[in-house]
Chains A and B, each alone.
Chain A
Amino acid sequence: MSAPHSTSMRGATNGHVVIVGASLAGLRAAETLRQEGFTGHLTLIGDEPHEPYDRPPLSKAVLTGWLAVEHTALPQRRTLEAEWLLGVPAAALDVPNRQVHLANGRRVGFDRLLIATGTRARPWADPEQAALDGVFTLRTRIDAARLRERLVAGPKRVLVIGGGFTGSEVASVCREMGLAVTLTERSATPLAGALGQAAGTFFLVLQRQHGVDLRCDTTVMALEGDSQGKLRRARLSDGDELDVEVAVVALGSLRNTEWLQGAGLAADARGVVCDGACRVFDANAVVTDDFFVAGDVARWPHPLYDGEFLMVEHWGNAVAQAETAAHNMLANSTTRRAHTSLPAFWSNQFGVNIRSVGLPPIADTIMVTQGSVNERRVVAVYGQRGRIVAAVAVNKPRSLPAYQAMIEAHTPFPPELHAADGPAELHLLPAGFPRRGQATHDAGAMPAGAGPSSPAPVPEGEARAWRDPRVPLGAPPLE
């Protein structure tokens, strides 16, 4: 049972810490708590039955078969001496009594809580169609094992719905396995949500060169099954009907915040809101002392981006934010620190490595600064109102630290660079990001307004159309 709460607990290295979410962020927080001298009772609660494992290889090395799904288990870099409650999700949070209610009825008391429940795959919009045999999402190791099994069986054609990172990586694996694949993307290019249409054009060409039947400005209107409930056909918004046996729904993710409904914390579909030190706000925008959040489910103000609240679903953010949250769980007002790390991610697909640092989706302009598109070794920077806000590199991983420094220093855009491999002429292009709030865009990192309870940045009248991935919209306006 829970120990009675007292303010003397704060800053202490004993007591009971509960971490809800036993994936990357939960694990890293647990390691940091022990590393920084926490000697009390530590409990990790996870809805999946597995020890923490890493998700990025699921859409890459696991799907190609190079890596068995069991070989994605994460190391414990410190001795944790933790209690693991795996295979049962948290169902509710009782803030006054300091208890987590599990779905099996068990109650777990705590002195301090870390919320790290992450996200889940956004399901296909029609539940009956989503339940057809052959329709997949890809988020967990069970998803990956099932999809792998189906791809190995050699389907005649795979349909990938959504050209974000997960969808593009799945299409890449299908081509590597010699499978026919159609990818539908609602905007004008793949990766438009994360990198914009200008950069997305590079990936459009890359995908077609690798034999993907890529259909942009196109949505899937319906998935149709046979009498046995097996997926047989997909009807597309371009009028085509495709015979498909496998469809991978890759339409981004939903934040796991339902269990916090009514708990009195600032949590909604866009995540759990916290301050720069990862302390959760309550529903009245008052910061709490003993409730922390980290990883994909968090929404926090980033000092580099005018204090806008960010939602970042990257591996590196889960790690950095978990470490800061855990540090602050043991800290006092003089030792507390802010989570200020820049968003950064990587992807491997169609034989190239993509890296990005900063926040591309807020940019208005992009320009190539090093290398060349034709050689497939290229760096481009993103500008917003005259300063650098992000950079993306293809097959040039060593170039990014320099750009990170420029972003952190608010360097003016376009920058004056003297790179040996810079282009002869500088070309500024509109970055071409789709409108915010469009459900099919797996942006990975998004700003979400200026305060803990700011409304979702979606025009009210168009909200339904933007959110239903089946509705075709044509090319979104360049912003």
Chain B
Amino acid sequence: MRIVVDLNRCQSYGQCVYFAPTVFRFHGELQEAGLEYDYTPSDDLQTQVRWAAATCPVQAISLEDRETSTKRTTQQTQKDGGS
């Protein structure tokens, strides 16, 4: 799946780091030190990432459109299978 975070909007509440710790992390020792994240987390983490997006207090996390995402996954599977 694919995601993007508006880091101008992010206020380092850290809900996403709590729900999906392998996708989101803080850059430094302090929580305020700025968020880093994986734009293309594995589909296995979909539930975690959806929780993260839903609970973000400033709604800074956007997800890929489901139809596009499904299409991409199908194409990827076909490509991987064919090579």
Contact = CB atoms under 8 A, between A and B. Distances in A.
A360 interface: no
Interface in B8-39: 8, 10-12, 25, 27-30, 32-34, 36, 38-39
A78 B63 CA distance: 10
A396 B32 contact: yes
A353 B27 contact: yes
Contacts, number: 96
A348 B28 contact: yes
A267 B10 CA distance: 35
Contacts of B32: 353, 377, 395-397
A293 to B, nearest CB: 21
A61 B40 contact: no
A323 B2 CA distance: 20
B30 A75 contact: no
A352 to B, nearest CB: 6
A352 B28 contact: yes
B34 A348 contact: yes
A80 B68 contact: yes
B36 to A, nearest CB: 5
Given A54-B4, A56-B7, A71 B39 contact: yes
A97 interface: no
A398 interface: yes
A462 B38 CA distance: 46
B43 interface: no
A397 B10 contact: yes
B2 A74 contact: yes
A44 to B, nearest CB: 14
A137 B6 CA distance: 26
Interface string B57-68: 000001111011
A315 interface: yes
B33 A60 contact: no
Given A73-B2, A75-B63, A352 B33 contact: yes
A72 B39 contact: yes
B3 interface: yes
A453 B59 CA distance: 40
B44 to A, nearest CB: 15
Given A72-B39, A77-B64, 13 more contacts: A57-B36, A57-B39, A66-B36, A70-B40, A75-B4, A79-B68, A80-B68, A346-B7, A346-B8, A348-B33, A351-B27, A351-B29, A352-B28
Which 10 A-B residue pairs are closest in the complex by CB-CB distance?
Answer: A351-B28, A75-B2, A75-B64, A348-B34, A353-B34, A395-B32, A348-B27, A61-B36, A316-B8, A76-B68
